[in-house]
A and B are shown apart, each in its own frame.
Chain A
Amino acid sequence: MVKEINEKNFESEVLNNNGVVVVDFWANWCGPCKMMAPVLESVSEELKEVSFTKVDVDENGVLADKYEILSIPTLLIFKGGNLVDKLVGFTPKDVLVQVINKNL
């Protein structure tokens, strides 16, 4: 499952999470984001120990600015509240799984 989060709960959901969290910055006008969504869902079913979240950049401009999101989809990977990896653009399942595993 991919949980929709926002500016208000970003800290509790991502920064205060001790585990690995994937944050998908997306918007509903973005074609590649639509293709990314089912891939993320599928990976989230396989890697239960990782939290999957998504941030709508239209409604959360502050977060998009803070993390310098200049192209979407962008996936940020946090571990213990620290940003450890960034994937810009559509990312195929195998590549995403590899990057997450590297950070586990």
Chain B
Amino acid sequence: MYDIIIIGSGPAGLSAALNAKIRNKSFKLFGNKNLTNKLDKAPMINNYLGFYGMTGREIRAKFEEHIKEMDIQITEERVNNIYSMGDYFAVMVNEKVYETKTVILATGVEYGKQIGGEKEYLGKGVGYCATCDAPLYKGKTVTIIGYNKEAEEEANFVSELAQKVNYLPMYKGDYSLNNKIDIIKDEPVKIIGELKVKKLILKNSEIETDGVFIIRDSLSPSELVPGLKIEDNHVAVNREMETNIPGCFAAGDCIGKPYQYIKAAGEGNIAALSAVKYLNSIKK
């Protein structure tokens, strides 16, 4: 059982990890070796105290140097879900489960634009895990919007149970789909229905469907942590970076604007210290 699991390796996540390390907590940091893609895009950063006139890549080199010096490792695994079990959290990575007493979400905001009606029909025909809910669609029509190759496996699995499967690839390449699946090359615009999903409206046509599964590269925080409170498309937190779920904290771009590095790093610091405070309180 870890003390803290941190999701995200941008400035908020790294700063949280730094403070977890300094406070001598057992922790795990999930993220990418390149830290965050956002740093590739910054031509010049002048408002990070002490580091000025630097490109995003130069700042990244400084961040890397710092975490290396502190002996902090980044785990490059994709977290599927985080379940709040009451007195601990279960962090799911495919078949593996990591247990932790606290979680710090520092996922950033790059999780793709939502499709019209997606939120409204979530759980009413819209879902994010086709393999999870496929058996509920026996004899029905399912449409899968896939943003990556992994979505093809989900489509193949569903096609064994559903009566009809449509597949909308949102990427280019060869598709390894079985021949029962209809590939539709078009752009999703809106999901419509009444009490539940009826149709998916595309740019050039529309399809009648009972279910729409959207398989993206990364999940938004509310999909990642079921039950998490969201306000204005960001994770709702207070000044201590506490979310509505005890033991779950959030920091950085995912909690709101301004999307600035130094703000994210500061929040990562608060989140880690709040997590430490929480750990001390549950020990008693």
Contact = CB atoms under 8 A, between A and B. Distances in A.
B227 A91 contact: yes
Interface in B69-128: 81, 83-86, 90, 92, 122-125, 127
Interface in A55-76: 57-58, 64, 68-72, 74
B132 interface: yes
Interface in A21-72: 27, 29-32, 35, 38-39, 42, 57-58, 64, 68-72
B222 to A, nearest CB: 10
A19 interface: no
Given A68-B195, A94-B245, A27 B92 contact: no
Interface residues of B, number: 24
Nearest to A98: B244
A93 B132 contact: no
Contact of B196 (A39, A57, A58, A68): A68
A50 to B, nearest CB: 17
Contact of B90 (A35, A70, A72): A35
Contact of B135 (A27, A39, A42): A27
Contacts of A95: 227, 244-245
B186 interface: no
Interface in B167-196: 195-196
Interface string A76-101: 00000000000011111111000000
9 contacts: A39-B85, A39-B86, A57-B136, A64-B136, A70-B124, A71-B127, A72-B133, A91-B226, A92-B86
